[in-house]
Each structure stands twice: as structure tokens, then as C-alpha cells.
Amino acid sequence: MARTRAHVYVSGTVQGVYFRATTREEARERGVEGWVRNLEDGRVEEVFEGEQADVESMVEFCHEGSEAARVEDVDVTNEDPEGEGRFRVRR
């Protein structure tokens, strides 16, 4: 199976609503590697690496996010995998 990588920026009400923690849980359930972090401009930045179907599933998750999130936009760039390791929340 081919591995893929998606670099994602999510905007809207996505900070302070458990977006990062929920993303980490969802990614670990799917066996997706990478990370998530808040940006100073209010967006959330994420990198997902894994099997294509699992990464696509995580990108779809970003359109909804956590229960309290209100996603306005999701910007996705596909990149070459870099071998991220276990999914984590970055500070």
C-alpha cells in the first residue's frame, strides 16, 4: 500500500474547543502518524502520514473537527511522506 502525507490548515473556531485532542485520538485510532498544533493566527496546522485511505479519512474529519468546533475552511497540500512517527500534539 502506498503511503501519503497531507499538510492541512484549518480555520474557523478551532482553538479552545478540543480540536487538537480530538484530532490526536482520531489519528491514533486510524494508525495515522504526524502532528497537530495551534497557530498564532487562530488556525490549526496538521500533518497526517499513512495509508492513503486513512489520511483521506483524517482530512475529511478536519471538515467537522471536534464537537464544539466550527470549521470555516480546510486547506490541504499533498506532500511526500517524511516518516513522522506516532501522532502528537505540538506546542
Does 30 qualify as catalytic in the annotation?
no
Q: Which of 20, 24, 30, 43 is catalytic?
A: 20
Does 20 qualify as catalytic in the annotation?
yes
Query: Could you identify the residue written with the cell 471536534?
Result: 66
| Cβ contact 1:52 at 8 Å | yes
Q: How many CB atoms lie within 10 A of CB 67?
A: 9
Q: Which of 3, 37, 38, 88 is catalytic?
A: 38
Q: How many CB atoms lie within 10 A of CB 16?
A: 11
Catalytic residues: 20, 38
